[in-house]
Chains A and B, each alone.
Chain A
Amino acid sequence: MRVAVIALNTFKEAVRDRILYAILVFALVMLAGSTILVTISVDGEEKIIKDLGLACISIFGLLIATFLGTGLVSKEIEKRTLYTIISKPIHRYQFILGKYLGLVMTLLVNVGVMGLGLIGLAYIWEGTSSVRLLLAVLFIFLELVLVTAIAMLFSAFSSPALSALFTLCLFVAGHLSADLRLFAAQFGGAATKLLAEVLFFLLPNLSRLNLKDQTVHGIAIDGGTMALSVVYAIFYVAALVLAAMAIFQRRDFK
């Protein structure tokens, strides 16, 4: 109940933030703009729309997740707004969970609007409705849910600027860790292989959640692998949120 109160208020904060609308409008304009590229391309019109559209959703979603996520806790501490909340009959972990769910809700709405825009656009251009496109958007959402958890974890002990930097670094590393492992397995020595393995297991394997290429090029996606990816993401998120709770639980608010 108290978690829901915090979550709804966090959502309300995002909804009343003008920057969010600016990002959303910009993203929709970008989506619409991709149709211009279609008219000047020689072949594969529908690929361009899907490709650019999914990239667009991914990037703007990442922006929202990183910048709202990193401010989620640290801004409350900096602005001292949490003094009157933490001193109310609420557990600290409830506060963290509420803040997190509020931002996930915000992301859901934003990715939802952008996703519907893209699916609508693809439908107008090709005349086919695409379940696979929806699936790709859903996996982008899942990825953003994970990125938000990373951002919040950093924001529980670091400044917003540093947290944003760390989060973006981890985002890139998370997309490259599988490739890194592959490279190390082929060319590296024993030590390099071990390092790549350790990194691979520690870093979030974000390439797992990336269905963009398969969707755009119509490559078959295995249902079992997808289900496993979802389970992987859920466990990773749970671990991050628990870590954020543990850090927040012990924090002093000077």
Chain B
Amino acid sequence: MNAIETEKLGKEYRIGFWRKRICVLSQLDLTVHEGEVFGYLGPNGAGKTTTLKLLTGLLRPTSGKAKVLGRPPGDVVMQQQVGFLPEQPSFYEYLTGRELLNFYGQLVGLDRPTRREQIEGLARQLRIESALDLQLRKYSKGMLQRLGLAQALLNDPRLVLLDEPMSGLDPIGRWEVRDLLLRLKSEGRTVFFSSHIIPDVEMVCDRVGILVGGRLVAQGPIDDILGAQIASIEVTASQVPPEVMAELGYLLVTQSVPRGERLLLTVKDEAALAELLTRLLDCKATIHAIAPHRESLEEYFIRYVQPRETP
């Protein structure tokens, strides 16, 4: 069974006086396997939060259907096994951290000893122990985010849905969340999280989905999406005579970059590389390194998303 499966899932809002239709998500076919970390990427306003709300039952789809752990979203049996962190979570400010977690613990049906154990354990893991007895109105944004993660994990969930879990965190906090995601995976849980911070996704995800303008434009392992295809090849050489350098200009993708004594030359593909190497060897230049450079997710993202966003 897949952890998440959607079939032509779509959501339209009706806004304004004339109830004009706005499509925020259309024809979403998403598959998340059990036990994997799935990164859900997309620019702001692509429909990531809408998807997560559809999966948790906060919104109802206008078309298509979704199954979470084999059950319809919003189903109580499903909710018992799912943890959810909304985007920029907001909690009852008049409660202390401990009271809030205790409240959620009761809602997920934990008995008193289990609640205490879980709250202590998660507070330690997420480093909010010292703030547990403070009222939430005194929490910083990062602390609220950690508390949000704690409440999502209280019920020992099989599937964790996180909306922008790294937002609002400092670099150390982000690093810790990355660690947490990997730990959740090693415990056999499925993690589905949205983000627009690509390096975060690239480091921890088994598979990713890329959402642009309400449509899923790619889905699969990062390697498959980016392809084994090489974006460019960097050659480091030295003792290249200036006149040869001037002739080589047409082969290069970007201008040569001096690195001390050496030069960094970037070419587009293997054919250009072969020609460059021949010329360099001919003039007795020294070649120090040849490094194929694969496209990063970020570069892919910018290349893919930009032309669609700016018509």
Whether A associates with B in a native complex is yes
Residue in B79, B88, B91 whose beta carbon sits within 8 Å of that of A88 in the complex:
B79
Number of A-B contacts (CB under 8 A): 79
> Main SS of the interface on chain A?
loop
Cβ contact within 8 Å between B107 and A252? no
Residue in B60, B82, B94, B106 whose beta carbon sits within 8 Å of that of A252 in the complex:
B60
Task: Sort chain A's interface into a size bin.
Answer: 20 to 34
Cβ contact within 8 Å between A16 and B94? yes
Residues of A73-104 whose CB lies within 8 A of B:
79-81, 83-91
Cβ contact within 8 Å between A87 and B94? no
Q: How far is the CA of A17 from the CA of B94 in the complex (A)?
A: 8
Q: How far is the CA of A16 from the CA of B95 in the complex (A)?
A: 9
Cβ contact within 8 Å between A87 and B79? yes
Q: Does B64 contact A (CB under 8 A)?
A: no
**B residues within 8 A CB of A253?**
53, 58-59
Flag the segment in A5-13, A153-161, A185-193, A209-217 that touches B: A5-13
The size of the chain B interface, using a CB distance under 8 A, is 32
Q: Does B80 contact A (CB under 8 A)?
A: yes
Cβ contact within 8 Å between B57 and A87? yes
**Closest beta carbon of chain B to A49's beta carbon, Å:** 36
**Closest beta carbon of chain B to A225's beta carbon, Å:** 42
Q: Does B151 contact A (CB under 8 A)?
A: yes
Q: How far is the CA of A87 from the CA of B104 in the complex (A)?
A: 11
Q: Does B172 contact A (CB under 8 A)?
A: no
Cβ contact within 8 Å between A87 and B76? no
Residue in A1, A9, A86, A89 whose beta carbon sits within 8 Å of that of B58 in the complex:
A86
**B residues within 8 A CB of A88?**
79, 104, 107-108, 155
**Closest beta carbon of chain A to B156's beta carbon, Å:** 13
Q: How far is the CA of A28 from the CA of B79 in the complex (A)?
A: 46
Q: How far is the CA of A100 from the CA of B119 in the complex (A)?
A: 28
Chain B's closest residue to A86 (CB) is B58
Cβ contact within 8 Å between B151 and A84? yes
| Top 6 A-B pairs, shortest CB-CB distance | A89-B79, A83-B86, A89-B80, A87-B84, A88-B107, A16-B94
A selection of 9 A-B contacts at a CB cut-off of 8 Å is A6-B107, A9-B103, A81-B91, A83-B58, A89-B109, A252-B58, A253-B53, A253-B59, A254-B59
